[in-house]
Amino acid sequence: MSTSPAAISVSGLTHTFEGEHTVAALRDVTLEVPRGAFASLIGRSGCGKSTLLRVLAGLVTPTSGEARIDGKAVGGRLGHAAYMPQQDTLLPWRRAMGNAVLALELQGMPRDECERLARPLLERFGLGEFVRAWPSELSGGMRQRLALARTFLARGPLILDEPFGALDALTRQEMQLWLQEVWSAAPVEERRAVLLVTHDIDEALLLSDVVHVMSDRPGRIVARIEVPLARPRTIADVTTGEFAALKAAVLRALGRGTG
């Protein structure tokens, strides 16, 4: 049995935003995402999901508790995890390649080495013909693939905050299946751990090994629901009785987390 630490580990994490109006965002959150696993975090708007990801990204230092990435305490330091916020945050003055390699350049890697590493990934992400395109020349789905490519090139587990939330329903569905394909294409021993924040129960169940359900603010974990559906999954899985039963379990957990 492996004794290596979980890719993502959160223990007793509580965070309160102090100010004119004090806001208790998270309360005693504990969860783990093993290496190579795909997990989702689901809850109502304002329950603290994005705050938790910002803690894992090193952008917020929690009031109490601990967050670890690959066994190392984050402690408000950047660079432990590969973080994609809700918006694609592409730089309009950089072409597609320049946006993709930004994290590598910030790590001090020479530009030619950055591009050598990025080029095959952009090909795999369906962007090989668009490396010199400006962000304004890309469709919504292509912009999201570019932002994900930039995230994949960064080090550490992938923490994704509603990456498809701004897309139309059909494009979102395509991107869900595409993300599953790209993530599962890696050998099991090299597969990146993922923690995905989403409001979409179908998306969480379609992509994840485990769904963590959060209560209303202050957010806490009220359920951990395993998803035993075989991979690869397709949109047809959404129509099965097993999927419906899992969705009902998530809805029940969300109901327990209100009030």
Query: Tens digit of pLDDT for each residue in 42-97?
Result: 999 889 999 999 999 999 999 999 999 999 999 778 778 999 988 778 999 999 99
Characterize 215-229 residue by residue with b for buried, 16 or more Cβ atoms within 10 angstroms of its Cβ, and e for exposed.
bbbbbbbbbebebeb
Q: What is the mean pLDDT of the chain?
A: 90
Q: How confident is the model at residue 243 (pLDDT cuts 50, 70, 90)?
A: very high
Question: Quick check: helix, strand or coil at residue 100?
Answer: helix
- Give the span between the Cα atoms of 61 and 14, in whole angstroms: 10
Map tokens 């969300």 to a residue. 254
Domain spans, the chain: 1-81+157-259, 89-155
Predicted local distance difference test score (pLDDT) of residue 257: 67
Instruction: Give the chain's count of helices (H) and strands (E).
Output: 8, 10
What secondary structure does DSSP assign to 120-181, as a single string?
Answer: HHHHHTT-GGGTT--GGGS-HHHHHHHHHHHHHHSSS-EEEESTTTTS-HHHHHHHHHHHHH
- In terms of Cβ atoms closer than 10 Å to its own Cβ (0-12, 13-18, 19+), residue 168 is exposed
Q: How confident is the model at residue 1 (pLDDT cuts 50, 70, 90)?
A: very low
For residue 186, CA distances in Å to 5, 39, 63, 180, 200 come to: 20, 17, 37, 11, 25
- CATH tag, 1-81+157-259: 3.40.50.300
AA identity, residue 227: V
